[in-house]
């Protein structure tokens, strides 16, 4: 499904972040030795969600909502299978976690590009979120190196 309105994009973004939070919380329960890192990653996703949605709530107007359309954002491009599998190894779960960060980062960058101009505060919020997700990827890459 392709989304165009700002409210539809914000709804999709909220769902992506909520799914990421659930995934990292599940990893925290499965890998107690890395509980703190996964709990921190879940908290980071919550914080990013709130920051972007706050920028939307504070910056959107009826005129912007009606007169603006996001181009080229298709939900299927950002979909990730996030069910935690009991038989999957830490290494495999970390690779899946990296996929989560990569897809949510790509969504933020795509949404930022699509909203430049009329929705500059929202665009900047998505850019900040993408930068923080790159920091998350570095944490996960370090954990993956240690696990291998």
* Six-digit token string for 132: 């923080």
Kindly report the CATH number assigned to the domain that includes residue 37. Answer: 1.20.1260.10
Range of the domain at 37: 2-147
CB 62 within 8 A of CB 5: no
Between these two residues, 68 and 129, which has the higher pLDDT value? 129
Residue-wise pLDDT for 91-123, tens only, equals 999 999 999 999 999 999 998 888 776 667 888
Helix (H), strand (E) at residue 109? helix 90-115
> Is the model's pLDDT at 59 over the cut of 80?
no
* Gap between the Cα atoms of 104 and 82, Å rounded: 13
Average pLDDT across the chain, whole number: 87
Our count of domains for the chain comes to 1
Residue-wise pLDDT for 16-37, tens only, equals 999 999 999 999 999 999 999 9
């Amino acid at each position: 499904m392709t989304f165009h309105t700002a409210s539809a994009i914000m709804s999709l973004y909220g769902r992506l972040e909520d799914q990421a939070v659930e995934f990292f919380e599940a990893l925290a329960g499965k890998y107690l030795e890395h509980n703190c890192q996964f709990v921190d990653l879940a908290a980071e996703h919550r914080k990013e969600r709130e920051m972007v949605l706050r920028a939307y709530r504070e910056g959107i107007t009826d005129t912007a909502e009606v007169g603006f359309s996001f181009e080229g954002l298709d939900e299927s491009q950002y979909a990730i299978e996030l069910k935690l599998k009991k038989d999957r190894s830490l290494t495999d779960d970390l690779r899946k976690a990296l996929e989560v960060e990569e897809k949510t980062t790509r969504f933020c960058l795509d949404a930022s590009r699509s909203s430049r101009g009329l929705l500059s505060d929202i665009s900047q919020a998505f850019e900040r979120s993408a930068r923080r997700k790159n920091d998350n990827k570095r944490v996960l890459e370090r954990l993956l190196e240690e696990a291998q």
